[in-house]
Amino acid sequence: MAISRSEVEHVAKLARLKFSQEEIEEFTVQLSKIIDYVNKLNELDTENVEPTAHIVPIYNVFREDEVKPSMDRDKILMNALYKENGCFKVPKIIE
């Protein structure tokens, strides 16, 4: 297996996903297959190759520092299920 069960569990936690034991099994098998497949890239020597993060080489795209009206709060909040006093509401957080 290219990836272990415990690694799958760790990655799930990082990604904030919850799986049943069966799903963990299934993902371990499937991800292992996919990782084996993508490991094909290791056939290539890329030692002296620069990575390409942006395919079109442009830079310095800015906006001017100008204030424009924000959106109506009703619209900002309209898709939230839990809200109170103009705020989004989440479970109590103890800091």
Partner 1 sequence: MIGLEVHAELLTESKIFCSCTTKFGGEPNTHVCPVCLGLPGTLPVLNKKVVEYAVRAGLALNCTIANFSKMDRKNYFYPDLPKAYQISQYDLPLCSNGYVEIEVDGKVKKIGIKRIHIEEDAGKLLHENTDGSLVDYNRAGVPLIEIVSEPDMSTPEEAYQYLTKLKSILEYTEVSDCKMQEGSLRVDTNVSVRPVGSTELGTKIELKNLNSFKAVQKALEYEIKRQVKVLEEGGTIVQETRRWNESKGITEPMRTKEEAHDYRYFPEPDLVPIIVTDEWKEEIRKSLPEMPHHKRERFIAEYGLPEYDAKIITSSKKMADFFEKCVLEYDSPKAVSNWLMGEFSRLMNETGKEIDEVPVTPQMLAKLLKLIDNGVISGSIAKTVFEEMFGTGKEPEVVVEEKGLKQIANENELREIIKKVIAENPKSVEDYKNGKEKAMGFLVGQVMKATKGKANPQLTNQILKEELSK
Partner 2 sequence: MELYSLTIHELRELLKKREVSALEVTKSYLERIKEVEPKIDALVTITEDFALQKAKEADEKIKKGEDTALTGIPVIIKDNISTEGIKTTCSSKMLENYIPPYNATVVEKLLEEGVIILGKSNLDEFAMGSSTENSAFKTTKNPWDLSRVPGGSSGGSAAAIAADEAAFALGSDTGGSIRQPASLCGVVGMKPTYGLVSRYGLVAFASSLDQIGPFTKDVTDCAIVLNTIIGHDPKDSTSLKIDKPDYTSYLKEDIKGLRIGVAKEFFGEGIEEGVKETVQESIKVLQNLGAEIIDISIPYVEYALPAYYIIASAEASSNLARYDGIRYGHIAEKYEDLIDMYMVTRSEGFGKEVKRRIMLGTYALSSGYYDAYYKKALKVRTLIKNDFEKAFEKCDVIIGPTSPTVAFKIGERANDPLAMYLADIYTVSVNIAGLPGISIPCGLSDGLPVGLQIIGRHFEEGKILNVAYAFEQANKFNAKPQAIGVQDNEVRSSDWLRGPCRTFDREQNLL
**Interface with partner 2 by CB under 8 A: which residues?**
3, 7-8, 11-12, 14-19, 27, 30-31, 33-35, 37-44, 46, 49-56, 58, 61, 63, 71, 75-76, 78-82, 88, 90-91, 93
Assess 44 for contact with partner 1 (CB under 8 A): no
Assess 92 for contact with partner 1 (CB under 8 A): yes
Take residue 27 and report the two structure tokens written for it.
Answer: 């993902």
Least distance (Å) from partner 2 to the CB of residue 38?
4
Q: For the purposes of burial, counting CB atoms within 10 Å of the CB of 8, is it exposed (0-12), middle (13-18) or buried (19 or more)?
A: buried
Which residue from 4, 13, 38, 39 is in contact with partner 1, where contact means CB under 8 A?
A: 13
- Helix, coil or strand: residue 84: strand
Q: How far from 59 is each of 49, 55, 56, 62, 77, CA to CA, in Å?
A: 21, 12, 9, 9, 35
